[in-house]
Amino acid sequence: MTIQEVKDRWSPGMKDPQAAIDWWNSKAGAFASRDIPTAQSSLAIRLITEKQMIERGQSSLDVGCGGGRFSFALEQLGACVTGIDFSPRMIEECEKSRIARASSACFCVQDWQNIDLQALGWKNKFDLVLANMTPAVVSADSFLKLSEASRNWCLMVKPTRRSNSILDKLNSLLELEADTNSLDEALLYAFELLWLNGKKPKIEYEEQQRENSWKTEDAVEEYTLRISSSHSLSSYQKEQIKDFLHRESIDNVIKETTHTTIAAVYWQVDRKS
């Protein structure tokens, strides 16, 4: 496969960008309340530490920073950090945490898919570019921008082979293709692009299982927004989601179990490695 063929195949699958923003906006408070990741709790931070991807005083870009947890973790490692996200609510939470922590990290609202690195002066600017478990990297172009913004290390962490006890049933009910298929393809396309560009990317994996629960009405909003971000839903399908979740709930609570293989791809842009 050529680079152009990968670009043709790996394109954004987002059907409703506003639904995606609304979905991530709704998660901002919960994301901001999570603990700062460490080498013991995070595959990304473990690799950054083990491979010495960042040194004190160097710069790092956190793409799709969410609530800022990884930005603050990078700052603790001595990095000068810039965090970006397309969700305004996520960046608001980052700013709150930055002030509370007296942090010097910089946060701003940016859509990575459409960002102009040249205009921002971000071409080859950062010693480490991190894209950890983020939907910001959704195409060949958005993936290649990671290398374009870096002058040394890049690390992308993606969920793959994901199964979800509730979402899988909903996709089957609605006769929709699971959005997890695009996640699995992203890993393959990322490796292919790096290989074709003369790099020798390394990949590490980690198994993860998470349990979540919502009140039924919150679950209706959660799943409707999530599925709407990758599929165009009719009013009837939205009602199907609502009816299914009410049937599935126990004591007005929806519980889900998610199994994921976390894949971390990392490489250096300044030499063939």
In residues, how long is the chain?
Answer: 273
* Structural element, H or E, at residue 243: helix 235-248
Beta bridge partners of 253: 215, 250
Which of 84-88, 150-154, 222-226 is least confident?
A: 222-226
For residue 88, the model assigns a pLDDT of 97
Q: How confident is the model at residue 179 (pLDDT cuts 50, 70, 90)?
A: low
Cα–Cα–Cα angle for 81, 149, 98, rounded to 5 degrees: 15
Q: How far, in Å, CA of 233 to CA of 64, rounded?
A: 26
Convert the pLDDT of each residue in 11-30 to its tens digit: 887 667 888 899 899 999 99
- The residue ranking higher by pLDDT, 45 or 229, is 45
Long-range contacts of 95-98 (CB under 8 A, 24+ apart): 96/32, 97/32, 97/67, 97/68, 97/72, 98/68
Amino acid at 87: S
Show Cβ contacts of residue 34 under 8 Å, excluding neighbours closer than 6 positions: 67, 69
Average model confidence (pLDDT) for the chain? Answer: 93
Mean pLDDT for the stretch of residues 213-237: 91
Per-residue pLDDT for 161 more than 70? yes
For residue 272, the model assigns a pLDDT of 42
Which residue has tokens 């909903």? Answer: 170
Q: How confident is the model at residue 273 (pLDDT cuts 50, 70, 90)?
A: very low
User: In terms of DSSP bridges, do strands 202-215 and 150-164 run parallel, antiparallel, or are they unpaired?
Assistant: unpaired
Convert the pLDDT of each residue in 119-150 to its tens digit: 999 999 999 999 999 999 999 999 999 999 99
